[in-house]
């Protein structure tokens, strides 16, 4: 009898301890496979007070060459990681690409707002109340918006599906929830290759035609779509789990200042980057005792930075931004201006605001699922037509139970697939080989 009771207890309690154990094991395996080449910042060598200064140092300018970590990012971002803006080394090619991205994103504010509202309406008007995964719900919105910014014409359904397929495949692999499907990504490459001449923007002249295709696919139809979908999923999850915030947003729909504080708090609490890395091209002096030699791999830890120096940092509190000036806080959701900050740092919050309003105008959002920074559950959330929340309590109880049990299986999948992909990336060495060939 006792063994049976013990077995039942272990099985029933699985969701409460197994996922955490598996995450710890995964981190340990990743660290073992990747080695300990990085200097974590903040960390024992560089404390949090020096975070922004070291990040902004002109010698913290290497992107991919010389870090084993790069193989893993290139593996996940393929095809064409060597011309992805995020991973290009500084120089003329990088400048050319960065200029093009800025040009494509530069649209008058009212135009972008109108476009964001139209793309949101297109998806949301076809969405029925019920259980959704917020990241999945948001992807077509951003696929359509970024297609239109690049092609300057409405996005056909075929293109939207290819973009969503590509972006979803990249982010699923990045979270170790699935393997890469290069065929899915190649279908978008082929679509873009065929239509390259229809793009009204001048594309980087320093890239070949094939590289231009990869550049568009990487920056706009992967990074832009993934980042915006994740950022919106975090924002809506946070709103769904803070009824007082939702109530205020719904009852004062014109209060943009409050919505901006909610967005800011969401980006602080759930930064999209875990770690951004740089390779130093020269020595950097931290203080009289510490110098970082050239060739160091600096790992800027966003979650650690965003939770240091705040009162009760784990609390989701948009009103902290009423009195705390953003510039004085440890808050860099779009990176640091002096070192390759995000080119969408202007347009991203603006469009998030519009899409949040469009969503909250149609639905109340509720979620009892886990909300973590990496959000492997893709943000399960119940959409309820405003004024109709019958049976909501029961739905949320079931959702909590389902999310917990899904987490057991998912954490095991992440452990297995993550370990395989880290090993596969180390074996293929896409970045290492590329730079070895370039110097030959």
Binding mask 346-365 for ligand HEM (x = CB under 6 A): --x-----------------
Residue number with CB closer to ligand HEM (273 or 389): 273
What φ, ψ does residue 129 adopt, rounded to 5°?
-60, 155
Distance of closest approach, residue 86 Cβ to ligand HEM, in angstroms: 4
Give residues 190-229 in contact with ligand HEM (rule: CB under 6 A): 219-220, 223-224, 227-228
What φ, ψ does residue 276 adopt, rounded to 5°?
-110, 135
Max Cα–Cα distance, the chain, nearest Å: 75
Does 399 sit behind a cis peptide bond, omega within 30 degrees of 0 on the bond before it? no
Q: Enumerate long-range contacts of 180-184, CB under 8 Å, 24 or more apart.
A: 180/75, 180/76, 180/78, 180/421, 182/78, 182/79
Among 159, 188, 342, 370, indicate the residue that binds ligand HEM (CB under 6 A): 342
Distance of closest approach, residue 59 Cβ to ligand HEM, in angstroms: 15
Binding mask 99-128 for ligand HEM (x = CB under 6 A): --x---------------------------
Three-state SS for 440? Answer: coil
Measured CA angle at 390 (ends 129, 354), to 5 deg: 40
Residue pair 357/259 in contact by the 8 Å Cβ criterion: yes
Residue 396 as a binder of ligand HEM (CB under 6 A): the answer is no
Distance of closest approach, residue 211 Cβ to ligand HEM, in angstroms: 15
Three-state SS for 47? Answer: coil
Among 59, 143, 203, 231, indicate the residue that binds ligand HEM (CB under 6 A): 231
Strands of the sheet containing 38-41, edge to edge, are 38-41, 297-301, 275-279
Q: From 307, 305, 303, 301, select the one nearest 277 (Cα to Cα).
A: 301
Element (H, E) at 242: none
Among 276, 304, 360, 399, indicate the residue that binds ligand HEM (CB under 6 A): 276
Residue 98 as a binder of ligand HEM (CB under 6 A): the answer is yes
Distance CA 222, CA 347 (A): 17
Stretch that binds ligand HEM, among 182-190, 268-276, 284-292, 317-325 (CB under 6 A): 268-276
Residue number with CB closer to ligand HEM (75 or 415): 75
Q: Enumerate long-range contacts of 4-8, CB under 8 Å, 24 or more apart.
A: none
Residue number with CB closer to ligand HEM (301 or 407): 301
Per rule CB under 6 A, count of chain residues that contact ligand HEM? 24
Binding mask 317-336 for ligand HEM (x = CB under 6 A): ----------------xxx-
Stretch that binds ligand HEM, among 130-138, 342-350, 410-418, 426-434 (CB under 6 A): 342-350
Residues that bind ligand HEM (CB under 6 A): 85-86, 98, 101, 219-220, 223-224, 227-228, 231, 267, 272-273, 276, 333-335, 340-344, 348
């Amino acid at each position: 009898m006792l063994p049976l009771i013990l077995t039942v207890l272990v099985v029933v309690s699985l969701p409460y301890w197994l996922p955490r154990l598996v995450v710890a094991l995964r981190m340990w395996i990743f660290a073992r496979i990747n080695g300990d080449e990085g200097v974590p910042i903040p960390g024992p060598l560089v404390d949090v007070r020096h975070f922004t200064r070291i990040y902004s140092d002109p010698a913290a300018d290497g992107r991919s060459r010389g870090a084993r970590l790069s193989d893993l990012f290139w593996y996940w971002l393929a095809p064409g990681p060597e011309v992805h803006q995020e991973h290009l080394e500084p120089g003329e090619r990088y400048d050319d690409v960065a200029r093009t991205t800025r040009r494509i994103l530069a649209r008058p504010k009212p135009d972008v707002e109108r476009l964001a509202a139209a793309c949101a309406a297109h998806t949301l008007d076809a969405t029925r109340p019920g259980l959704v995964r917020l990241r999945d719900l948001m992807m077509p919105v951003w696929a359509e918006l970024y297609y239109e910014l690049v092609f300057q014409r409405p996005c056909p359904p075929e293109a939207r599906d290819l973009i969503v397929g590509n972006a979803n495949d990249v982010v699923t692999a990045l979270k170790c929830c699935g393997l890469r499907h290069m065929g899915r990504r190649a279908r978008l490459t082929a679509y873009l290759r065929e239509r390259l001449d229809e793009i009204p923007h001048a594309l980087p002249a320093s890239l070949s035609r094939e590289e231009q295709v990869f550049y568009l696919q990487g920056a706009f139809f992967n990074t832009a779509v993934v980042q915006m979908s994740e950022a919106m999923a975090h924002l809506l999850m946070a709103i769904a789990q803070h009824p007082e915030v939702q109530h205020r947003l719904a009852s004062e729909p014109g209060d943009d200042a409050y919505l901006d504080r909610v967005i800011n708090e969401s980006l602080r609490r759930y930064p999209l980057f875990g770690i951004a890395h740089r390779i130093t091209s020269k020595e950097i002096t931290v203080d009289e005792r510490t110098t970082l030699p050239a060739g160091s791999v600096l790992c800027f830890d966003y979650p650690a930075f965003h939770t240091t120096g705040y009162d009760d940092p784990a609390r989701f509190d948009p009103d902290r931004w009423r009195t705390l000036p953003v510039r004085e806080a440890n808050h860099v959701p779009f990176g640091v201006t002096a070192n390759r900050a995000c080119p969408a740092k202007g347009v991203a919050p603006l469009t998030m605001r519009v899409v949040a309003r469009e969503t909250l105008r149609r639905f109340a959002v509720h979620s009892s699922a886990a909300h973590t920074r990496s959000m492997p559950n893709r943000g399960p959330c119940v959409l309820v037509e405003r004024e109709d929340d019958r049976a909501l309590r029961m739905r949320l109880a079931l959702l909590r139970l389902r999310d917990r049990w899904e987490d057991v299986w998912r954490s095991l999948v992440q452990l297995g697939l993550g370990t395989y992909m880290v090993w596969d990336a180390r074996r293929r060495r896409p970045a290492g080989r590329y730079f070895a060939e370039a110097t030959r």
